[in-house]
Structure 1
Amino acid sequence: MSAAAHFRRAPSTIRCWAHRYHARRLGVIGRTVWYDLRDLAVIDREIRHGRPVPETWEARAELLIS
């Protein structure tokens, strides 16, 4: 399942988030980029709640811990 299908968003939205918020990349195979779904989930949650999204994946990981 793609991240776009998982979050019910357009693929262009996921690419925009990945670029804008420097989402954590897990790997690249050909032209397909694999992102950390937990990181994208934090980005999605912060956007939905109207809160600022931390700039780095490390800072977003801290939100998961707390």
Structure 2
Amino acid sequence: MDRENGSVLKHKNQGTLNCYIPSKDWGKGFGILEQAKEQFDLEDYSVSQITLEQVFLTFANPGKSSSDDKNEVP
């Protein structure tokens, strides 16, 4: 992922990637996903926003940065 624009690969599990993409880049991301879907014969992809629980945990643990996540892919 491109850390310059804020995109981060968060988790990788059994062929599924979980990435953070800033909302300003969603339009560009959809174009890239559609190209990758055709080029690499991807089965599916989905996009979702942060959950209320994730927002709460962010405020509940202000000292914990996203890089502290033990499941984050280096």
| Same structural fold, with TM-score higher than 0.5 when normalized by the shorter chain | no
| Bigger RCO (CA 8 Å, 6+ sep) | 2
Structure with the larger helix share: 1
With the length of structure 1 as denominator, give the TM-score of the two structures.
Answer: 0.27
- Work out which of the two has the higher radius of gyration on C-alpha atoms and give 1 or 2: 2
